[in-house]
Structures are given as C-alpha cells and as structure tokens.
Amino acid sequence: MTIDALFEAGSAPEAGALPTITIPRPDDWHVHLRDGAMLKAVLPYTAAQFARGIIMPNLVPPVVTVADALAYRDRILANRPQGSDFEPLMTCYLTDRTDPDEIERGFGERVWIAAKLYPAGATTNSSHGVTDLAGLSPVLERMEKIGMPVLVHGESTDPEVDIFDREEVFMENTLLPMLKRHEGLKVVVEHATTSGTVDIVRVHAPRVAATITPHHLVINRTSIFQGGLRPHLYCLPVAKRESHRQALRKAITSGESCFMIGTDSAPHMRSSKQAECCSAGVFGGVTALQTYVQVFDEEGALDRFEAFASLNGARFHGLAPNRGTVTLVKKPGVAVAAVPIGEEDIVVFRGGETLPWSIGGTGA
C-alpha cells in the first residue's frame, strides 16, 4: 500500500520548490499495534512512516515468553501491507514471575530487543505487571549483565498520589533507586512528560534515554478540557502543565542523543474512548511524523530532526540506521479523521485537521 493511499484525497504534496527535509527512514521506539482486526487496521499507518518499531507486549494475555513473542511477531508480519518491509522489534512483558533464563534466551536469540516494565495497574492491560520491584532484581541483574534494555512505564500506582504527580513520584521513589542499584542497566523512560524526568534522563545518559510522544509535544493538560471533556486526548501518563510541554519540546530539539521518537500510538475503539469510563490512549500513528517535524520547524531546529527521528534510537539499541529515506514537505495536508474497523472506528490524533507538513514519499 502506498503512502498516498493511506491519506485523504488531495493531502499528498506535489513535488516542487516547497521546503522539504529528507532523512533516513525513522523508527518508532514505542508503538502499540494490538492484535486481530485492530492490528490489521492500524499496522499500515505505522509501516508507512517507520521502518522498524518496538512493539509493546501488553496484549490480553500479555507477551511473557519467547513463544508468545515469536507468535505475535508472525501475526504482525502476516498483516504487513503488500511490499512492506516493516520490521517489528519484540519485547517481553515483565511480571513478578519472569524467569531470568527466559529473558536471556529471548535476547540471545534476538526474539526480543528489550523488556517492558509496567507497574501493576498503571495503564492499559497492566494488571499482570510488576508488584514488587525488589523481587524483580534477579531479572534486572541478568539484563544488566547481558546488556538488555528495560523500557519503563514510569508512574506511581499509589492511589494517594495525584494523577498529575504520578510520574514525578515514580522517578524519585522508584527509578532513581533502581538506577543506583543497577549501575550498568540500560533504561528507556517511556513517554516522558515532565521537565524533571527530562533532567533525570540527561544526568544519567547515555545508559538512560527517553521516548517522547507527538501528542505530549502539542497538547497540555488544559487541552483535555477545552470546550468540554475531550476523551481522545486522554492518555497515561496524562498530559501535564504547559511548562512541561515546553521542556519536552526543548529536549527533543536540543540535539542530545538521549531523546528519541516513541509515538506511544495506542488505538482504542471510539466506543471505548467515548464511554462512561474512558480508555487511556492516543492513536497517533497516522500523523506522527507530520507532528514531530512541525515541532522542529516551530522551534527552528529542522537541522536536528534527523538525529532525533533516525539516529538516536538506533544508536541506543545498538542497531544500524535504516537504509532508504523519507521526505517531508512543508505543504498543508489532511490525514484521515478515523480508521474504520467493521462497524466501528478509531479516532486519529489530529486527524481531519489541516497540518502544515505532509509526507512526500520514500526513497531507496
């Protein structure tokens, strides 16, 4: 499937003298593809923008063994659009019962590239997550020994902690002690949302890095309530104050190698979002690159976009940059408003809006 076919008619830019930027094909270092019909519906959008993606393992049931990861990878490959070479990079879902030998086997056989640490109850499908971080020490010690990164959903699950403070409390009470106990462990702080997290990542780089989502760069917590409650902007970690949004924008455009793309594209059916109890997640896989490049343009840092989008994540994970290129053009374009699945659909982040940048195409 071509890029043009994935976007509304008239939204693909024409070649010409418009401002353009061409970079090596980027990767998404944090993406949810789900499974079944939803996988089939959303995968083409991620595969059209990114060459590789770190696939989150929080299925029902979660991906906890090498066999689980192999089977899930096969399902993803079977659902790639014709002609796509998108490469899924699998992860293991850590639990209180994770076996260090299974972790090492999967990493040694290159079945998975990292393991995901969800505090139990922190977010979507995290009920099987870790309840006792001290009990996970043998696993983290093994990961430290073999050089396998742990990807951390950094939020406290203490019910007495305000939802807007959950990341800050986790960083101080859990992440920093973990980094001190495991001084050689490679850590990715997923979907960072606060200035404090950005500072912690900087201090502990290069063994610590952070992914930053497109939506946290363009919305703040007020956005969720503008004109009424906007459920399609609700995610975990929740968007924070404007000062934090500005800190994230400065971080990704700083040129520092410890920050990388991670869309946290997390599709939910419209009925699950527009519900009495709204599911957490923003589906940004359609408009991710257009949003990221817009931020770099607004911050006067287009010359640093290539490193953030195409180089930093690969370097952290010990992979070569991708072959081929993608070109983005500063020409207004409109992405699809929603992706249909049977009789329902998934609302696209910034879908239906006129965005200042468009995807111009890919090259060899």
Binding positions: 30, 32-34, 58, 116, 153, 191, 236, 264, 268, 280
| Spatial distance between the Cα atoms of 337 and 339, rounded to a whole number of angstroms | 7
Confirm whether 28 is a catalytic residue.
no
Strands 344-347, 338-341: pairing is antiparallel
Question: What is the rounded end-to-end Cα distance, in angstroms, of the chain?
Answer: 16
- The number of angstroms, rounded, from the C-alpha of 76 to the middle of its chain's C-alpha atoms is 17
* 196 membership: H or E segment, kind and range: helix 195-204
Strand order in the sheet with 187-189: 27-31, 52-55, 87-93, 112-117, 150-152, 187-189, 208-212, 259-261
DSSP sequence for 86-135: -EEEEEEE--TT--HHHHHHHHHTTSEEEEEEPBTTSSTT-TTSBS-TGG
Q: Which residues are annotated as a binding site for substrate?
A: 32-34, 58, 153, 236, 268, 280
Catalytic residue among 27, 68, 264, 297: 264
Q: Which residues are annotated as a binding site for Zn(2+)?
A: 30, 32, 116, 153, 191, 264
* Residues 149 and 91: beta-carbon distance below 8 Å: no
DSSP sequence for 250-270: HHHTS--TTEEE---B----H
Matching residue, tokens 């004109």: 227
Matching residue, tokens 């599709």: 267
Strands 325-329, 20-24: pairing is antiparallel
Of 53, 71, 49, give the one whose Cα is nearest residue 2: 49
| Spatial distance between the Cα atoms of 339 and 182, rounded to a whole number of angstroms | 43
* 332 membership: H or E segment, kind and range: none
Structure tokens at 164: 């807007």
Of 348, 355, 327, 360, give the one whose Cα is nearest residue 42: 348
3-state secondary structure of 344: strand
DSSP code for 165: G
The amino acid at 306: E
Catalytic amino acids? 264
